[in-house]
Every structure is written in structure tokens, then in C-alpha cells.
Structure 1
Amino acid sequence: MTPSESAAAASNDTRTRRSRLLDRVVGSLWPSMALHRATRLMAGGQAIRAFGLFARAARAGSAEAEYQVGRCYLNGAGVPVSRADGFRWIERAAARGHAEAEWILAALYVDGVAPCCDRQDSSGSPLDLFSFDVAPEPDFAAAEKWARRAAEHGSADGQALLGYVLTFGPKSMRDLEEAQHWYKLSAEAGCPQGAYGYGSSLVQSGDSEGDEVRAADYIRLAAQAGLSPAIYLLGMLTERGWGIERDQSAAVQLYRRAAVIGNRSAQTSWGRALMWGVGVEPDRIEGESWLRRAALAGDADAAALIGDIYAEAGALPPNYAEAAIWYRRAAEAGHAAAARTLGLLYLSGTGVGRDPREAMNWLGIAAEAGDRSAQVDLASLLLNDGASHPGDLAKARDWLERAAASGNLLAASHLGVCLLEGIGMDREERLALQWLHQAAREVVSAQYWYGRALSEGRGIEADPSLGRAWVARAAAAGMADAEAALAEMMVNGRGGPKDHGAALDLFERAAAKGHVGAMYALGMMRDGGFDVASDHAAALRWFEAAAERGHEAAQHIVGHSPQQNVRDDR
């Protein structure tokens, strides 16, 4: 080192010692000057020196200094991170009426990081104030208290946070009108979170075109500030043309922007757009990658979409086992439709081992979440397979009635059959006919049952002709039971002319689908006595097919047929 360099280094050391001595003197004698000097040092990147001055001013009772010390501990600025110390100093500043400390304290309570000061371990020593062996829970009551103080002291952040608590806190605490008031004040003060909250509240409550435009304007302000939920919501409004010009391509780019900075919902929307080329060139590999990222981060919609991708046939056959994994992830995250699909996979044994109990579990989760289709599915299972206690049957009937009343024709069909046959409930044939008639407009099984009821005069005066017409509609749609029933009507001439040839064709169609009664009927017709060619060998084959499937009359015939006796003698 040259003499000049040595002199410069010595001069720097001297200035540093003098500066630190000045810090000590200022900190000891003039707390307000210490606070001012610490603020300048922090802005200049000298966090360690700044923290020392903040701490001296805080010990002298400065609320601003206490607040700054708390922030240093929370952010690890000039001192190792300590959430416990950070909370304690922020709380001290808030107790002195420091507005910014009040809203940060409220935010800590919302985030569930407030300490439980009265817990102790087995040795009697206080536990770590921020031990997270158990997942932290928000304390909305304490959050509301401190956020309200901050809001009333004019903190725009506190106003936004109070609006959040009043919107998303416990139901007993929610007040959407007051929340909108605080959001508006915060937004007008230029707080991005307030702008987003106010815009979102207008989306929910707005009932005029002016409200729609104002909502979009405030959400745009929050998006311009880089708030990812606002960017995503602005994308949704742009996609739907709500308060803003509809532009699918612009919406997708907003999704992409929010996705890149970590918004899960935006990652799902961006992945969906890439998968199916909505507003952007399709890229299925990249799209699935974004969906997976969102799903693994906990987005239920993304997990359900991946399940759908694996369940659908494309260039490769469906992979139901992989689909079931993603449906389970979505269902566990609260996705009702995925829970229903998972239940149906267990019911049929597709991609997973067949497990009716597990099927009932997932269908029950979806049904309790309000999924109408799952309610119909589960109600049908409970009513047909039996329920563990009468309450299940009552719930099943209630679900069917609600779904049927809302226009669900499949539910109307199930309810009609149960009332007609007394499955899980008392027989009410007149009421059954009403539901079946409503469902018969579109539901094939309802056409069959309605036709049977009309033909047999159940709940109404018998009308075999009209009944046969309804059964014929179901048979034309390929329902095996209806084909066999119509064939029987044609054999006997019930509700219309006899036609044994057409009946034979219908029995053969039903038998090909595994209808055991049709197999037996074919054996009878081919055995002679009908207006079709006799064929005893064919008759025996049909009797044997029916007998193998448990048809008692067919088993009796096969057991006493001459051909069977010859085989037995051998």
C-alpha cells in the first residue's frame, strides 16, 4: 500500500469512528435526532447502524422508532429475523396509536402469526412464541380491532385491511356495506389494495353499467400497481366484457402476466388458454405445465382440468389411473365436480379398484357441497342399495325432489321410479306418474317406466295403447328393458296388433345386450307355438344361456329337457 493509500484508509477509519461516536451521542441525548439519522442510514443501505439508532430511540419511548424496530425484526433488516421480537415491538407502537403499526399488527393477526403468550412446555419454560407445530389460525377478532383503529387514524392500508376482514372474516363479523365504505376511502387515498377491494366489491354489488365501468377502472389501477389478484380479475373482466371492452387476446395476456408472478388462478386460466388455443396459439405441453404448476400449488380447478385431460381420449387412450390421482387432489381441495367424478370412478372400478363405499364417500362430499348431479347419483345409490339409517333415505328423497323441482329430468326420472316401486319410500303412484311424465320428454328410462305404468294402470286408468307408444320410444333408443317389454306386448297384442316376427327381432336385440328375460323368451318362441319358425336346437341354446345367468324357469326347463337327459345318461 502506498503512503497516499495508507493515509486515505486512515482518514476513512477516522470518519467511521467519528460517525459511530456521533450515533451513540445522538442516540443517547436526542431520540428524535436518532430516529431521523436512522431513517437516513436505512435509506442509504446501512441497515445495521440504522437498527442501532432505531433501538435507542425505541427504548426512549418513540412510537415511530418502536414501529421501525419491529419492521427490522420482521424483515431481517440490520438484525436477524425474529417474528416474536417483531410482533412485540409492532404491538408496542400500535398501543401508542401508531397507525401503520396498527394495520401491520392487524395483518399479523390475519396471517395467523400472532403469538400465544401463555403456552409453556413440560419444563415450565415459555414455548417459542411462533412455534408452528400446529398450523396457525387467523385471529379475526383481534385483526378487526387493530385494523379499525388504523382505519380511523387515516391509514389507507388499514382501511383496505378492515374492508378485507369485514368481507372475508367470520360470517358474524361480515358487513359488506361497511367493507365497501372502507375500501372506497382507501382507494381514494391511492392504496392499490383498497382499489382492488373497492373494485371487487362493485363487481359483486354493482347493478348498473356505471358501476361496472367504475369497478373496471379501480381494478385497472390496482393492476397497474402490480397487484396480481387485480391483474387476474382484470383479465376476467376483459374476457367477459364486463365494464370494459371484450378482448379475448388481451385477457389471456393479463392471465399470463399474473401467472408469471405467481397467481394460481391466473396460472390455471393461462394454462387452459394454451391447452385449447383460446386467444393464443395452442401449446398443449406448455399449457399442461402451467396447469400442473397451479395444481401443485393448491388450485383445485387446475387439478380437475388435468384429470379431465387424462380421462379424455386423444392421441393416446385415456389414462384413468392418472386421472384419478388428479381428481383426488382437486376433490381434497374442495372441487365438488371432481369429487363426483372420483366417486363415479370408484363406483365403476375405472382407473381405481371398485369400491362402492369409497364411491359413496366422494359422492357424499360432492353432494354436501351442493353438486346437483352428485346429489342425484348418491340419492339413487342410497335408495336402490339401502342406507345406513332412515336419515339417509330422507336426505336422498329431499335431494331428488329439490333437483327434480329445479328441472333436472334425470332426478325426476329417479324420483318417479322410486315412488312407483316404493324404493326407499312409500309408494305414491299418482305422484310417480307426474314426475315420470315430466322426465319422459328426454330421459329414455322414464319413457319406459311411464309407458309401463300407463299400460298397467298404475296411478291412473290403464291405457295400453298409449303405454305401448311410450315403451316403443324407449325401445327405439336402444334400451334393452324397453325392447323386451315392447316385444312382449307384440306377442300378446297388448296395446296394439300382434307381430311375432317383430317381437322376435326385439327379443334378439335385448338378448344381445345381456337381457336374461329376452333370452328365455327367445327360447320359448323358438320352441314352437308362435308365428315364427321353430328351431329346437336354437331354443335350447337360449334356455341354456338364460339358465346360466340365473333364470329359474330356464333352469327348470334345461334340467328336464330330453337333450339334457341324453347327456346325463352318457
Structure 2
Amino acid sequence: MSLKKSISDKLAARHPDKALIRARELKAAGDLARAFKLYVVAAEAGITEAERELGTYYHQGLGGHGSTADAVNWFTRAAQKGDVESQTNLAGIYLAGYRPDSALFGGAKDGPADLAEALRWALLAAEAGEPRAQALAGYIYMEGPEELRDDAKARLWYSRAAEADNAYGHLGFGLLTLRGAEEDEPTFRGVEHIRKAAEAGLALGHYYLAEIYEKAIGLLPDPAKAAEHYGEAAKGGIRNAQAKYGLMLMQGTGIKTNKTEGETWLRRAAIAGDPEAAALVADIYANGDGDLPPSYAEAANWFRIAAEAGHRAAARSLGVLYMLGAGVPRDPDEAAKWFRQAAEAGDFIAQADFATLMLKKQINPRFTEPAPVHEWFEKAAEAGDLIGAYNFAVCLAEGVGVEKDEAKAVEWFRRAADHVLNAQHRLGRMLAEGRGVKQDFVEARLWLAKAASLGQTDALLDLAALELQGLGGPRNDEAARMMFERAAENGSRDAMFALGALYGGGHQIPTDRARSLEFYRKAAELGHPRAALMLGKYLRLGIAIEPDADEARKWLTLAAKAGLAEAEADLASLEPPATAAE
């Protein structure tokens, strides 16, 4: 700074009024630092404009002087003298969460909004005709705590702000009008005010106008207009709009599909804290997209973000990834943690998943505390939820969290059986075994047939066994064969072994040793010990195939390792394998 300028500033500083005039000139010229010093002189002399200007410096961080506490101090001095702009600024600061007691140590911090104090200052400025303050007062009366809410006063202040063409006034008055609209005229009026807020460039105005087009409020649905306004709101930083716009781009709703851009907007919304957007991004990575393979590691990261924000479906999905070891290390205890979070939020599938981990003893009690899954299921069952009834029955049947009670389990299986496939199977099996109820093969067949008709593998196997044994009806080996065939198509190695036995002879269907061999081989390759034994016998004896001692030895060895003594005897009957010397 030149000597001449320094002298000019010092001369101006001798008189508060001149200091204010000089400060205005310097600020207009962009010399904020020199202006600040002169504003201090004028403000300390009690000049209202200078007090407000210092408040603005501290509030906006001009010239490196950011301090909410100091801003409040100077705005308050000006506001107490009736300065409308300072009153309005104070209302905004208190609405944003400023608390004087939080500024005692280390500067002010955001906390719960002091709406009562915000309203006090807003009303002073609103009554003086300041549109921004009128809109603030309308907002507090419409959205504040119960003791401050007053729709009539909200409507009054929003309408005055709207009359002054304030964008927030238009938005608030429009939303308040739509909230109570039951006829066309107030609906159209509300929509028009929201349109004016959007036309003024207000991002929230664009967001609500997009919702109006999407949901056809007072006009015909227009996905293209909805996408356009969601896009403007997204660019304005409205988190929900970013998520909506991203999804519309992904799905091509009202706009040309652009999955890359859609994923970018969803990601922005997720980073801003939108759990639903994070879950959608996770789904994109979990399922893959077109030619791109899934990325489970990336999916896990986004599921975690959503789950930590309380998204229960994301918590369950993250649990599934830990159960499978997809994108994360396989860890049943970590899976249980996320299943539990989703379960406690009311996710019935997660409750069942957690119960399964407990039932199969896959969680370590040192790391994972057992959950009251039976209580979750009982509560859901008594509320009429049939899946809950089925799961509660499983708890009773297996003694998960409660004392085993098979009779009571049968009661709950019956309640669920008309609509729950697995309940039909479990009820049929308990009737066939006489567990918790008098043994009844006839009724057992009825329930197993219901589940089998829908392709339930275990029901097909159990019903086929009753058909073979003639329990609950006449013996029917052909019907059993058909059921075993369907179960084998589902990948059941037990069904494949059963088909090998059926085609092997001694049953009411034509013997077909070649098909028998085929099914024994399929089951053996899936690790069925008795199928490996039978395949080894066929190969040793040359049944439906040329004898092959080496391959027979391979399968018989597998059967023997599984503990089948008969396989040991068959192995002993084979000649020792030829050595290299021979």
C-alpha cells in the first residue's frame, strides 16, 4: 500500500462518518482488507450500517474474517436498532443451527436450529416488509415444531413474500396451497406458484415442479418435463433430485437412456448421504450392466454406505455378500451383523437368514450374540404374516431360541401351509414321520403333492419315497420315477442316486442298466458316497460298460473314504494296480 493511500485511510479513520464513506469506496473497489479496518472504526462508533457490514464480513468470510459468533454479535447490534437486513440475516443464522453456547470454546458450531429465536428476528423484519424474512417466517410456521406451527400465519407470510415475487415465497405458498387442495382451482394456483419458483431459478422449485409432472398433480403426467426439472434441481445440488434424475437416466424414463451419466448422478446423491441412491448404485455393481460383469467389491462398498445410513435392504444384501464371500472375505459373523441390523428393522428375509445361521451353527457365539429370532417370527406370525408363521414353526420344530415343541410347530406350519411352499413340505414331512402329530401318510401325501407340484425338490423326494413304499396310497414306481426325474433336473444328487437304483432292476419299471449307470455317475460326480460305491461296482463287474478296474478303484476309494465298509470289500477284490516295473 502506497504512503498516500495509508495517509488517506488514517485521516478517514479519525471520523467515524468519513471512515464509513471511505470503507464503502474501498469495498466497491475490491479492497476488502482496508475496507474492513475502516468499517471497524465506524461500527465501534455505533453506526448501524457499519455494524451490519462487519456482520456480513464475518458471516460470509470476506477477507478471511469468517466467524459466525462475531457475525451474530454485529448483526445483533444493528438489528436491535431496527436494521431489517440484519434481522433477516440473524433469522437465517439461527435457523441454520447457531447456538450462542456452542461458541464459547473454539468458535460456533452447527446444532439443532433455534427456531424460536429465528422466528423472533424474522417477524421483526417481515413486519417491516422484507420478503426474505416473510418467507422465513412462513417456513417456520409451516415446518417448525408443534408449538410454533400455524398454517394460517404460514399462509399469511408466504403470500406476502409471493406478492413481492420472492422465489421462496412462491414455493412455500404453492406447497401450502397444494397441501390442503381438494378442488381444481387451488391445485392450479399452487402449481402456478411452484412454477414461478422454478422460473426464478430456485432448485427446490424445479424439484417440486418435477414431482408435479411425475405424479400428475393438477396436470397430465409428463415424464420428459419431470426429467428436465429433476435435472435442473440435481444441478442445483438437491440430493433427492440427483437420485431421481440418475434413475430416470438409467431407465430412460422421459429422457434418452444414458447409464453412465445416470450412475454418476446416483453416485453424487449417494455421496451426499442418500441411502436409497447408494443402494441403487450397489445394485448396479452387484448385477452388472449389459456387457460389464458384476463388481461385487464395489457393490459391497456402496451397500455398506447405504446400510450404515439405515437402509435395511442394503444391510441384508451386504450380509448375503459376506455369506457368499463375494467381493468381501467370506465371514458368517460379519454376515450375521448385517442380517441382524436388517432383521431388527423388520426385514423378514433377513430374520430368516439370521435364524438359518444360528440353526446351522455357522456363527461364533464369542463374536455374535444370538438374537431373539423366535420373538421376531412369533410377533410377525401373530400379526398374520404367513412367512413369519412358517419361520416361527421352524424355530419350534428345531428348538431355535425356544424349547423344542413339535406339536406347536405343526400348528404354525398348518397356518402357513396354504400359501407358503416350504410350509407345505415341512407339514407333509412331519405328518409322514409322526412328529408332533399322529402319523398320517394320506394327509402327508396331500401336502407333499402341493409342494411337489410347484417343483420343491425336497417335497418331490419325500413324495417319491412314499409312492415307492406304498404309504398313504398304492405303490406307484412310475410316479416315483417321474418325481425323481424332476428333482434330478433341479440338481438333486439324491434323486440321481434313486434313479440309478430304480433303473437298476427289481422295480415296477423296465430295467435299464445303461441309464442306471448314467445316473449313478451323475450322482457320484456330485459327491454322493453310495452312488460312488454303485458306480465302482458297475465298473468292476462290467455292468452296462466294459470292465475298468482303474476307474472302479477311483470311485470305490471315494466311497471307502466316506465310511462305506462295502466299498472296502470291493476294493479288496480288485487286483492290485500294475506297477511301472511290470
Query: 1:27 — aligned with what?
Result: 16
The answer to whether 1:327 aligns with 2:303 is: yes
Looking at structure 1, the residues matched to 136 and 559 of structure 2 have their Cα atoms a distance apart, in angstroms, of: 74
The answer to whether 1:149 aligns with 2:120 is: yes
Looking at structure 2, the residues matched to 259 and 468 of structure 1 have their Cα atoms a distance apart, in angstroms, of: 59
Task: Report if aligned partners of 1:300, 1:329 keep a CA contact under 8 Å in 2.
Answer: yes
In the TM superposition, what is the alpha-carbon distance from 1:413 to its structure 2 partner? Answer: 2.7
Looking at structure 2, the residues matched to 429 and 215 of structure 1 have their Cα atoms a distance apart, in angstroms, of: 61
CA-based RMSD:
4.5
Task: Report if aligned partners of 1:148, 1:159 keep a CA contact under 8 Å in 2.
Answer: no
Choose from 262, 269, 277 the match for 2:237: 262
Query: 1:362 — aligned with what?
Result: 338
Structure 1 residue identity aligned to 2:316: R
In the TM superposition, what is the alpha-carbon distance from 1:332 to its structure 2 partner? Answer: 3.2
The answer to whether 1:480 aligns with 2:442 is: no
The answer to whether 1:492 aligns with 2:499 is: no
Distance 1:473 1:234, change over 3 A: same
The answer to whether 1:566 aligns with 2:573 is: yes
Looking at structure 2, the residues matched to 113 and 154 of structure 1 have their Cα atoms a distance apart, in angstroms, of: 19
In the TM superposition, what is the alpha-carbon distance from 1:517 to its structure 2 partner? Answer: 5.2
The answer to whether 1:59 aligns with 2:34 is: no
Query: 1:7 — aligned with what?
Result: none
Q: TM-score, normalised by structure 2?
A: 0.74
In the TM superposition, what is the alpha-carbon distance from 1:249 to its structure 2 partner? Answer: 1.2
Task: Report if aligned partners of 1:209, 1:243 keep a CA contact under 8 Å in 2.
Answer: no
Q: Following superposition of structure 1 onto structure 2, how do residues 339-488 of structure 1 map, counting pairs within 5 Å?
A: 339-382=315-358, 385=361, 395-404=372-381, 409-427=386-404, 432-433=409-410, 435-456=412-433, 463-488=440-465
Distance 1:274 1:98, change over 3 A: same
Looking at structure 2, the residues matched to 217 and 524 of structure 1 have their Cα atoms a distance apart, in angstroms, of: 78
Task: Report if aligned partners of 2:281, 2:299 keep a CA contact under 8 Å in 1.
Answer: yes
The answer to whether 1:241 aligns with 2:212 is: no
Query: 1:278 — aligned with what?
Result: 253
Query: 1:184 — aligned with what?
Result: 155
Distance 1:305 1:232, change over 3 A: same
SS of equivalent residue, structure 2 residue 268: helix
Q: Following superposition of structure 1 onto structure 2, how do residues 190-269 of structure 1 map, counting pairs within 5 Å?
A: 190=161, 191-197=166-172, 199-200=174-175, 206=180, 208-209=182-183, 215-269=190-244
Task: Report if aligned partners of 1:108, 1:114 keep a CA contact under 8 Å in 2.
Answer: no
After superposition, what is the alpha-carbon deviation per residue over 1:345-398, rounded to whole angstroms, capped at 9, x for unaligned? 111222322211221222233334444543443355445548859x97674234
Seq. identity, %: 38
Query: 2:57 — aligned with what?
Result: 72
After superposition, what is the alpha-carbon deviation per residue over 1:525-547, rounded to whole angstroms, capped at 9, x for unaligned? 57765435496995987798235
Task: Report if aligned partners of 1:339, 1:362 keep a CA contact under 8 Å in 2.
Answer: yes
In the TM superposition, what is the alpha-carbon distance from 1:117 to its structure 2 partner? Answer: 4.4
In the TM superposition, what is the alpha-carbon distance from 1:231 to its structure 2 partner? Answer: 1.5
What are the ranges of 5 or more consecutive residues in structure 2 without an aligned counterpart? 534-557, 578-582
Choose from 241, 260, 264 the match for 1:289: 264
What are the ranges of 5 or more consecutive residues in structure 1 without an aligned counterpart? 1-12, 120-127, 131-135
How many corresponding residue pairs?
Answer: 531
Choose from 301, 315, 340 the match for 2:291: 315
Looking at structure 2, the residues matched to 90 and 412 of structure 1 have their Cα atoms a distance apart, in angstroms, of: 63
- Of residues 83-92 and 476-485 in structure 1, the stretch that sits farther from structure 2 once superposed is 83-92
Structure 2 residue identity aligned to 1:488: A
Task: Report if aligned partners of 2:138, 2:156 keep a CA contact under 8 Å in 1.
Answer: no
In the TM superposition, what is the alpha-carbon distance from 1:70 to its structure 2 partner? Answer: 0.5
Task: Report if aligned partners of 1:117, 1:129 keep a CA contact under 8 Å in 2.
Answer: yes
In the TM superposition, what is the alpha-carbon distance from 1:490 to its structure 2 partner? Answer: 0.5
Looking at structure 1, the residues matched to 480 and 260 of structure 2 have their Cα atoms a distance apart, in angstroms, of: 54
Task: Report if aligned partners of 1:517, 1:546 keep a CA contact under 8 Å in 2.
Answer: no
Looking at structure 2, the residues matched to 226 and 477 of structure 1 have their Cα atoms a distance apart, in angstroms, of: 57
Distance 1:224 1:183, change over 3 A: farther
- Of residues 413-422 and 270-279 in structure 1, the stretch that sits farther from structure 2 once superposed is 413-422
Query: 1:138 — aligned with what?
Result: 111
Looking at structure 2, the residues matched to 241 and 258 of structure 1 have their Cα atoms a distance apart, in angstroms, of: 18
Distance 1:62 1:462, change over 3 A: farther
Task: Report if aligned partners of 1:307, 1:327 keep a CA contact under 8 Å in 2.
Answer: yes
In the TM superposition, what is the alpha-carbon distance from 1:164 to its structure 2 partner? Answer: 5.8
Choose from 116, 123, 129 the match for 2:107: 129
Task: Report if aligned partners of 2:520, 2:531 keep a CA contact under 8 Å in 1.
Answer: no
Looking at structure 1, the residues matched to 117 and 322 of structure 2 have their Cα atoms a distance apart, in angstroms, of: 49
In the TM superposition, what is the alpha-carbon distance from 1:241 to its structure 2 partner? Answer: 1.2
Distance 1:394 1:248, change over 3 A: same
Task: Report if aligned partners of 1:163, 1:178 keep a CA contact under 8 Å in 2.
Answer: no
Distance 1:87 1:288, change over 3 A: same
Looking at structure 2, the residues matched to 407 and 43 of structure 1 have their Cα atoms a distance apart, in angstroms, of: 72
Structure 1 residue identity aligned to 2:292: L
Task: Report if aligned partners of 1:376, 1:403 keep a CA contact under 8 Å in 2.
Answer: no
Q: Following superposition of structure 1 onto structure 2, how do residues 150-169 of structure 1 map, counting pairs within 5 Å?
A: 150-155=121-126, 157-158=132-133, 160-161=135-136
- Of residues 16-25 and 91-100 in structure 1, the stretch that sits farther from structure 2 once superposed is 16-25
In the TM superposition, what is the alpha-carbon distance from 1:235 to its structure 2 partner? Answer: 0.7
Structure 2 residue identity aligned to 1:253: E
Distance 1:215 1:495, change over 3 A: farther
SS of equivalent residue, structure 2 residue 234: helix
After superposition, what is the alpha-carbon deviation per residue over 1:172-204, rounded to whole angstroms, capped at 9, x for unaligned? xx328716455434312315445545555666x
SS of equivalent residue, structure 1 residue 531: coil
In the TM superposition, what is the alpha-carbon distance from 1:58 to its structure 2 partner? Answer: 2.2
